[in-house]
Amino acid sequence: MKADYVIVGAGSAGCAMAYRLSEAGKSVLVIEHGGTDVGPLIQMPGALSYPMNMSLYDWGYKSQPEPHLDNRELVTPRGKVVGGSSSINGMVYVRGHAGDYNHWAESGAQGWSYADVLPYFKRMETWDSRGQGGDADWRGTDGPLHVTRGPRDNPLHDAFVSAGAQAGYPVTEDYNGEQQEGFGPMEMTVYKGQRWSAANAYLRPALKRDNCEMIRGFARKVVITEGRATGVEIERGGKVEVIEAEIEVILAASSINSPKLLMLSGIGPAEQLAEHGIEVVADRPGVGKNLQDHLEFYFQYACKQPITLFKYWNLLGKAWVGAQWFFSKTGLGASNQFESAAFIRSDKGVDYPDIQYHFLPIAVRYDGQAAAEGHGFQAHVGPMRSESRGEITLASADPKEAPKIFFNYMSTEQDWIDFRKCVRLTREVFAQEAMTPFVKHEIQPGDALQSDAEIDGFIREHAESAYHPCGTCKMGALEDPMAVVDPECRVIGVEGLRVADSSIFPRITNGNLNGPSIMTGEKAADHILGRRLPASNAEPWFNKNWQESQR
């Protein structure tokens, strides 16, 4: 078993690279431990809370006890299935803000500024605004990834956006276009009523080519001979074997599993590797460090009118929604229901948005538990750029053992300041006239919680991960001791080995990470093939009064 390129992980970035490398005539082998993504629970957008909570599709990781969140162990879902996390995520599509990528370039990831990455976002997508307006010039027209908008026919969606405008915030037609800042429609990776994962968009077309193959196996480590990656040791059917790479091995196994595999292969902090009896191939202290995530909470309100999705939150309602989707790929099952969004700045002096909202016309948790109040709605809200940093470390030298995941959430004073702002700014939005016909009362946090101490207590108990881990194999300049890969995604200190997934992000981007992860695969494929799309000269929008005003 050998190929020019061996890719570990059929996730968001891995599928994109398999598609582009095989398209260029290279032979590609993709190693995936998870099983098939065929079946209604994954393919039906409205069923998104199921696969995320199923051991069949999820690695089942949990964080270490988080000291600043009452020592809670937070679930950390990662897709263990064809398509990776793009097969179990919420399908929300956000490119990230221009400022995010400019920061990457300034911090040592040269060639990854917004001007450099925008052409890849355009290449990868086919955008359909459903006639709802938007920035066609900024969007792609013939890429593998279909991006659409929900029908937004529930009156709560308009009310939410109008309330934002009444509170003095901009309205944006397309947060993935020129202007991210403001309230407007949310976008999703759904096509013809079906989840449009990286597997559907990229891997299935790639596997139709003679030069691309996927094998099912559990990756144990990268085989490194005389300083060069030559293959991947895998276990399948109870046997350990090596898949050989003629040119390169590429890790795209997630921000949790890519650093784990590097460390098992002898690449990482030398002291830690020695503790586990692993021979050091390259002492890279940054492997597993720089772990970041978005933390959020659900701001829930009871609704005065019986117009929310709660009316389908019973056996008969779910059966009806499921049947309609199964036979026609239409109806409520054809949307993730995240159809309105907002990106705002928390304060003056913040140059681009640092708070995100997902709006949902039902009060429900990710694990599928509906609020006891019945009819309600919610906004997921959280800060975008926490300074807190965690780490991934090995629990042992046994590849089968899950790594230790420590996010170190809420470890800076600024985190608490930012979350209090989220609570107070959100209350202000929902107090606007546009929401008056719908707001009955605040379910959570609840009106009683007003002081800093009360809000802090609520956050400690109720903040949840938005499931956006990244940063654990940081991309940076060769002279940066904490960089793991160079701006070409090559692992520093080892030949023939790259990492390309959300683990290489120097800093977390605004919003959901599936779009940036796929873009990383697209752009990494071009680096591997020795080519580049010309940079864009489009000028993204920044609020010209950002130094003086919050909105």
Question: Catalytic residue positions?
Answer: 468
Q: Which residues are paired to 111 by β-bridges?
A: none
Provide the pairing of β-strand 295-303 with 464-465: antiparallel
Query: Could you tell me the two tokens for 432?
Result: 């606007």
Dist CA 381 CA 426 (whole Å): 8
Alpha carbon of 551 to those of 16, 56, 120, 128: distances in Å?
Answer: 38, 45, 31, 29
Q: Is 369 exposed, middle or buried (0-12, 13-18, 19+ CB in 10 A)?
A: exposed
Alpha carbon of 54 to those of 79, 80, 82, 182: distances in Å?
Answer: 10, 10, 14, 35
Contact criterion met (CB below 8 Å) for 23 and 17: no
Query: Could you tell me the two tokens for 153?
Result: 């026919």
Q: What are residue 177's phi and psi, to 5 degrees?
A: -105, -135
Provide the pairing of β-strand 145-149 with 125-127: parallel
Dist CA 525 CA 510 (whole Å): 23
Q: What are residue 359's phi and psi, to 5 degrees?
A: -105, 140
Count CB-CB contacts under 10 A for residue 178. Answer: 17
Tell me which DSSP letter residue 1 carries. -
Contact criterion met (CB below 8 Å) for 122 and 140: yes
Q: Is 153 exposed, middle or buried (0-12, 13-18, 19+ CB in 10 A)?
A: exposed
Task: Name the residue with tokens 């992000």.
Answer: 505
Dist CA 95 CA 136 (whole Å): 15
Dist CA 48 CA 9 (whole Å): 21
Contact criterion met (CB below 8 Å) for 153 and 513: no
Amino acid at 204: R
Dist CA 202 CA 145 (whole Å): 8
Contact criterion met (CB below 8 Å) for 159 and 359: no
Contact criterion met (CB below 8 Å) for 65 and 72: yes
Count CB-CB contacts under 10 A for residue 98. Answer: 22
Contact criterion met (CB below 8 Å) for 379 and 402: no
Question: CA triplet 163, 360, 325: central angle to 5 degrees?
Answer: 135
Peptide bond between residue 445 and the one before it cis (omega within 30 degrees of 0): yes
Contact criterion met (CB below 8 Å) for 281 and 227: yes
